[in-house]
Structure 1
Amino acid sequence: MGIFSRTRDIIAANFNDMLDKADDPAKMIRMIILEMEETLVEVRASAARTIADQKEMHRHVVKLDRLQADWGEKAQLALSKDREDLARAALVEKKKAGDMADQLKQEIAVLDDALRAYEEDIQKLQHRLREARSRQTAIAARLESAENRVKLRTLMSTERTDEALARFDQLERRVDYAEGRAEALRIADQSGTPSLADEIAALAGSDKIDEELEEMKRALGKDGASKED
């Protein structure tokens, strides 16, 4: 009965209350799962022993049934030989075998009830075990999330974070300085010796000016010729 009462206690246990009252919920759920796994192993082992006992009893019942038939045949033989005394003794033995067979059948019926109870308990324990493992996963996730939040807040509130941010500011200032120098150099290049592209562009512009000047000269030459006429 110990295994049954232990199983019933686990099946009826309220996980929520147990976890709420526990100082360490993660540790408590691990202990619950371990207890349930051990109990499940014990229940299955008890069920296996019960099945083995039941099979052995069935074999004895078969032997007793054969023994009854054998004593019945012997009683008939003795009676046919006018040995009523032997026939009566054979029937007495047949009855003994029958009584033993009936007793074993009653015990087999009791074991049938026990097996059904084992099967129900195993199913309930498996369900509760799945529930506990699911709770364990959820608790582990919540615990990890809480620890990460604590680490983040601790990191954000330490001097190391301030130092790191200050270093970022220094790096940004160095980048700004480098970009300023590059811009200054570009401006200096533009105000000094012209580049190859600038010289070529100037040549193209000079050609246009020469062409316009020639056009103006030709126009003046035509005007001068008209005055002489």
Structure 2
Amino acid sequence: MAGILKRFSDIMSANMNALLDKAEDPAKMIDQYLRNLKSDLDKVKAETAAIMAEETKAKRDLNECISEVDKMQKYAEKAVLASNEADAKTFLMKKAQLIEKQYELQKVFDSASENAAKMKSMHDKLVSDVNDLNARKTAIKAKIAVAKTQDKINKIEAGAWGAHNNMSAFDRMEEKADRMLDEANAMATLNNEKIDETIELKNQYDGQSKADVEDELTALKNKLEAKK
């Protein structure tokens, strides 16, 4: 009996929170914990049934003994009525023996009854706890699912923020590309500009006009010298 109570105590004091803290997947751990608890419940149920059977047997043995005592009493009464005192004494001696046996059987039954009551109470408590955990399992799993969903959302948000940063970098790259294109287009415009040819021609003719003046001045000097 002590071994049964110790094992039952171990079952009832199992720290599910500690198990969940170590679990990589709490939902699977809950299922495993309940499977273990139900397996233990089956063992407790079998041992409870065995003790209850002992109680039933003890009760049956006690009732049979009480019945035998009653029979010996009746046989003794019949023997007295038949004026057979020797037989009456025999029946009364047997009755006395049975009463001693009845006393011992009563103690056995009382002990078995007490053990059966304890086991039945603990069994019922364990059944209630298993049912309670089954009911809570759905809520716990729902919380775990919500937590996983929130974790996914957090990761998506983090990814979106990273994408936002990438877009900002892309915008800067595009702005730089636009600036480079504008500079290239400006250079192309400068390279394609034509020199005004009239400017060269004017410069040429301007230079010739100056030469004519010089020649005319020289001719004028020569003419004046000739008149002297």
TM-score, length of structure 1 as denominator length:
0.55
Work out whether 1:99 is the aligned partner of 2:89: no
- 3-state SS, counterpart of residue 13 of structure 1: coil
Unaligned runs of 5+ in 2: 164-228
Gaps of 5+ in 1: 163-229
What do the CA deviations read for 1:97-120 (whole angstroms, capped 9, x no partner)?
222222222222112212221232
- Answer whether contact 2:62 2:109 (CA < 8 A) is retained: no
Trace 1:162-181 onto structure 2 (pairs within 5 A).
none
Describe the superposition over 1:6-33 as per-residue Cα deviations: whole angstroms up to 9, x where unpaired. Answer: 2211222333233224444333322221
1:133-212 → structure 2 map (5 Å cutoff): 133-152=134-153
In 2, Cα distance between equivalents of 1:136 and 1:81:
76
Counterpart Cα distance in 2 of 1:100 and 1:125: 37
Corresponding residue for 1:5?
6
Question: What amino acid is the match of 1:124?
Answer: K
- Report how far residue 95 of structure 1 moved: 2.0
- How far, CA to CA, are the matches of 1:138 and 1:77 in structure 2? 73
> In the alignment, is the contact (CA less than 8 A) between 1:11 and 1:124 conserved in 2?
no
Amino acid corresponding to residue 143 of structure 1 in structure 2 = I
Per the alignment, residue 133 of structure 2 pairs with 132
Q: 1:150 to 1:74 in 2, by over 3 A?
A: closer
Q: How does 1:11-22 map to 2 (within 5 A)?
A: 11-22=12-23
Percent of pairs with identical residues? 25
Shift of 1:78: 4.8
Deviation track 1:24-49 (CA, whole Å, cap 9, x = no partner) reads 43333222211222222333333333
The yes-or-no answer on 1:56 pairing with 2:29 is: no
Partner AA of 1:14 in structure 2 = N
Please say if 1:32 is aligned against 2:33: yes
Partners in 1 of 2:60 and 2:36 — Cα distance? 36
* TM-score using structure 2 length: 0.55
What is the match of residue 47 of structure 1? Answer: 48
Alpha-carbon distance in structure 1 between the residues aligned to 2:36 and 2:115: 22
Does the C-alpha gap of structure 1 residues 93 and 41 become closer, same or farther in structure 2, counting only changes over 3 Å?
A: same
Q: Residue 74 and residue 134 in structure 1: after superposition, are their counterparts in 2 closer, same or farther (change >3 A)?
A: closer
Question: In 2, distance between residues paired with 1:17 and 1:153?
Answer: 27
